[in-house]
Amino acid sequence: MPTGTCPECEADVHVDTDADKGDVVACEECGTELEVVGLDPVELDIVEEEDLDEDEDEDEY
């Protein structure tokens, strides 16, 4: 099973062999959600929470 390194805590994070770029995995050590950004070698990046303000603007009339 391929592994990448958590950018938050430097722990090894196991990634499924059939994972694709854009998949999200969680670090077992710190719980940070990580996006697969590279496959050979496995590269992980912290998932940024998106602002939900855009959706809220549509509801205001």
Taken in order of first residue, the domains within the chain and their CATH numbers are 3-59 (2.20.28.160)
φ, ψ at 31 (rounded to 5°): 80, 5
Confidence of residue 61 (pLDDT cuts 50, 70, 90): low
Q: What is the pLDDT of residues 29-59, one digit of tens each?
A: 999 999 999 999 999 999 987 654 555 555 5
Q: How many residues are recorded in the chain?
A: 61
Q: Distance between CA atoms of 18 and 56, rounded to whole angstroms? A: 36
Q: Distance between CA atoms of 1 and 17, rounded to whole angstroms? A: 6
Q: Burial, 27: exposed, middle or buried (Cβ in 10 Å; 0-12, 13-18, 19+)?
A: buried
pLDDT of 3 over the 90 cut: yes
Q: Distance between CA atoms of 61 and 50, rounded to whole angstroms? A: 23
pLDDT at 26: 97
pLDDT at 34: 97
